[in-house]
Structure 1
């Protein structure tokens, strides 16, 4: 081994990497295809693989990744006691998140060395531009493992690793790389600044808007709050169904002349364009299950009652049909 190396013995995980900042891109922002159907959910009624993830796997799992496009590795990432390096977090919308990692391993001789490679997401490994491993299960929040044999040269081997995942609400995004072979390898220590966290912005305050309306206090603050609600619902962010309920209440209680005409027209178009259940068209990260289910049903019923003769875009149903269906679903949940 070279002077100043660490030691990677059989059963040890690599715990420190050089790492890039995360690159985030909205996924399927303008996708208008069919939504998920019952076949994508378990018999228990709990969600299985989302339609959004199915599209992601079709388009991203087997795509080529060019190592020459790697981002600068200016930070360090380290694991906890488990040996798992995690970049997990929460996103209100579907985002494709990518990061690059690097580590220098010193081998005593040329040969293939066994590693157990685990990921929540997908992982690719290169040495000197040659791809040594590609494992892209993309099973949300479930660590998957594969045995790989990495071809290393005698001396220092600079490994470049690409890690990516589709974020849907709370998402585990991690890497676990455990050495399984003999003899022990050397590992060059990494130094640098820890990676910065990505905070989630606060959600709009619908209660504040309704309070202003109840007090007949109109003005720039009410306009700004309404714009934020419209933006969240139009994007179908996670949790946006609660903001939608505010818009429905607003439509019933407010007067059209209290808001600028373009903003008020957008309230109606946003209500008609929303996705009220997983069987309607759209590709997003909304959670329709558990405690959220009756909220979606109530919103569907209320929206249909407000616009009985209008056609709702995501379902192609008229409002009176949405009202009846939402009511039936709500009764089924509460039965």
Structure 2
């Protein structure tokens, strides 16, 4: 048996294992109700709401035996039957991840189980000190003897404990059983860090395979990168940082959100330096998650990447009239959209109303059945689909393809649904965010309106009673919205959900009051969208965001909404929001188009707030050449979630933002993740075209640096000088300074798209400008470098700007500009819009 060996030193993670394929078991629990206020999880912490079925799960689990494996037959490719299900042992390569984890999204409660195996060689017998962490439950066997039993079960939060393993001299077998209850987004994980002083050796059994070949494959994926983040033409190519030394197979599993997976298999030959996955027109458009596997025999090494695919030919799609844009959007989503109820309605409209699309009955049936199955099972986010069935029944109840039998099945589905948390259920549907609340309440009132005299089985009430409940809940939702706005402010993934709920309510409600409320709310949302977008791309600070929105602006749902509303932005595959708006009688106010872009010689400044009290005080400043946006002094020094608090933009690709990575692994998708959100939030100030960010990061956090997204390939010119990086796109300039200096990443997944600044305490400055303001790009650089600046060890900033004047800011003091204090409190959700020359 050959072995793959790695050293294990003090402070390092034992993160190379053989992992048994995960066993997934859907769970059913007793029905129960829940309590909680909307958005409390954003204000008090995202883990405050516990799934009621978890207590029952833990009680039933305590009497179960963990998975039993045969430790004498473990190597890559070995198959063992677990509960009569054949499962394969796989090699786990962590790359930059200290945690052994499998991430995913489970729409129903699911028990996850797995085993991990490795061997440790030590020269001296003794008790060796480790730190152990897991989110679920974990057991460790050392040399076939049970040694550790640890079961914190804190959802998506690693809980730590200190352990000692009595290692014998020579080889030691380590077996781990770990399990968890998946509910929605789940990080199925554990972590084992070595705290001892004597160096140890990890030994992974690899059968007859060559250790050198496996190490080479690992190095290839570790250094692999895509040359750009957005592919608009030509081939999609993954590049290696070294020459391939052996022949191997590769498999790329590519998926855009809920679209059909596409699998590309290639044979990679010795001497190659890249893998060509195919032409952009071969793939679904959208931000694409890629699971890249490279294989020799049963050795398979996996790494995750993400890219945007958007053929530039679609940027030419234009028409002057909104009704034409609505029709074009429905045509486009009929072909390119995600396979869901929203796409189904666009297909019906295009095939039956305007005859531009030939309906495929099998596709119609498949999508309908899949959506109804999800709703009947009460999958999380099923409210996003259910709401469109009311549109289907309203518009197409006389259609030949929507048969009487289908209508009756839809009716039964509506009558059996769970419409709020106070109804009994054993599902993991999420009720606690403002976008879900709007969807559930709208579904409830429309269900009651459609079937007032029917009995709804889950709540045990009539449709008329459901109507009354939904009406009261919607009135409370609108009261909060008109007073507070959205706590998930300017959120590219969640604004479209609100647009779905509000447009469907506007079109289908019998209540004139609710119709007026819905229009008023839609007008406000589209006003925010126009002001905070740069030429139709929502590249501003956001209350909740994911990497796919930050790096995939051509395909972001709000980009399509802006295109439909005003013809700026881009038409894309997204169905959420765009289909509901395109089918709706609602027309976004045309007058808001003046906010999308600013003419030469002018600037727009917008200061407003969103959320309860002074939750998020927001600033956006834009000119014809750039836009700068921030959340001012938002929870400075607190642990972050998905809040995106500072961004500079010169277009859909030429964007820069600064954050503290929420996790060490670039390829993981935590909340917060490496690029989206913050591990610890900075204190941010902004005045027009300059912003400051002060970071103070606690020692407990893994990541001891801050960084900025700086995709050099998206800019025309770039320069690193002193502690600055300068970027230019067209007439727009960005200057980015870090007190602790900056280092451009030159290899791996973030090659030439990241600058890192070491240290837990740091000060960043973002200064934007243009050729109109500064003349040449060289002149801008020179002025920034020569500007008088003092940044003290106590993080007090004194900056004398050549145009703005003297700025001072610190962790304990508000921003002052030319001795005038810039207050951030007492703003309104409507905000103050000012135009400058």
TM-score by length of 1: 0.85
Shift of 1:18: 0.9
Which residue in 1 is equivalent to 2:345? 210
Q: Which moved more, 1:78-87 or 1:149-158?
A: 78-87
| SS of equivalent residue, structure 2 residue 147 | strand
Shift of 1:109: 4.1
Relative contact order, CA 8 A, sep 6+: which one is greater? Answer: 1
The answer to whether the 8 A contact 1:16-1:78 is kept is yes
| SS of equivalent residue, structure 1 residue 289 | coil
Which residue in 2 is equivalent to 1:244? 386
| Alpha carbons of structure 1 residues 209 and 128: separation in structure 2 relative to 1, 3 Å | same
Which residue in 2 is equivalent to 1:296? 440
Which residue in 1 is equivalent to 2:764? none
Q: Using the alignment, how far apart are the partners of 1:36 and 1:119 within structure 2?
A: 26
The answer to whether the 8 A contact 2:114-2:178 is kept is yes
The answer to whether the 8 A contact 1:92-1:238 is kept is yes
Q: Which moved more, 1:294-303 or 1:252-261?
A: 252-261
| SS of equivalent residue, structure 2 residue 12 | coil
| Alpha carbons of structure 1 residues 19 and 299: separation in structure 2 relative to 1, 3 Å | same
1:116-265 to 2 correspondences below 5 Å: 116-189=131-204, 191=206, 201-202=258-259, 204-214=339-349, 215=352, 219-255=361-397, 258=400, 259-265=402-408
Which residue in 2 is equivalent to 1:268? 411
**Residues 1:68 and 2:69 are matched in the alignment:** yes
**Residues 1:285 and 2:467 are matched in the alignment:** no
**Residues 1:93 and 2:108 are matched in the alignment:** yes
| SS of equivalent residue, structure 2 residue 196 | coil
* Aligned with 2:92 (options 77, 95, 98): 77
Unaligned regions of 5+ residues in structure 2, if any? 72-79, 81-86, 207-213, 219-250, 260-337, 354-358, 480-837
The answer to whether the 8 A contact 1:73-1:102 is kept is no
Q: Using the alignment, how far apart are the partners of 1:182 and 1:326 within structure 2?
A: 62
| SS of equivalent residue, structure 1 residue 167 | strand
Q: Which moved more, 1:299-308 or 1:128-137?
A: 128-137
Q: Which moved more, 1:134-143 or 1:3-12?
A: 3-12
Q: Provide the aligned C-alpha RMSD in A.
A: 3.2
Q: Using the alignment, how far apart are the partners of 1:316 and 1:230 within structure 2?
A: 21
The answer to whether the 8 A contact 2:106-2:183 is kept is yes
Which residue in 2 is equivalent to 1:26? 26
Q: Using the alignment, how far apart are the partners of 1:218 and 1:104 within structure 2?
A: 55
Which residue in 1 is equivalent to 2:454? 310
Unaligned regions of 5+ residues in structure 1, if any? none
| Alpha carbons of structure 1 residues 180 and 139: separation in structure 2 relative to 1, 3 Å | same
The answer to whether the 8 A contact 2:446-2:467 is kept is yes
The answer to whether the 8 A contact 1:95-1:167 is kept is yes
Q: Using the alignment, how far apart are the partners of 1:249 and 1:197 within structure 2?
A: 34
The answer to whether the 8 A contact 2:11-2:193 is kept is yes
Q: Which moved more, 1:145-154 or 1:15-24?
A: 145-154
**Residues 1:327 and 2:471 are matched in the alignment:** yes
Shift of 1:190: 5.5
Shift of 1:36: 2.4
| Alpha carbons of structure 1 residues 118 and 198: separation in structure 2 relative to 1, 3 Å | farther
| Alpha carbons of structure 1 residues 262 and 185: separation in structure 2 relative to 1, 3 Å | same
TM-score by length of 2: 0.36
| SS of equivalent residue, structure 2 residue 59 | helix
| Alpha carbons of structure 1 residues 33 and 263: separation in structure 2 relative to 1, 3 Å | same
Q: Using the alignment, how far apart are the partners of 1:303 and 1:108 within structure 2?
A: 70
Shift of 1:66: 4.4
Which residue in 1 is equivalent to 2:10? 10
| SS of equivalent residue, structure 2 residue 69 | helix
Q: Using the alignment, how far apart are the partners of 2:471 and 2:70 within structure 1?
A: 52
Q: Using the alignment, how far apart are the partners of 1:316 and 1:300 within structure 2?
A: 14
Which residue in 1 is equivalent to 2:801? none
Q: Using the alignment, how far apart are the partners of 2:11 and 2:64 within structure 1?
A: 31
Shift of 1:13: 1.1
Alignment size in residue pairs:
330
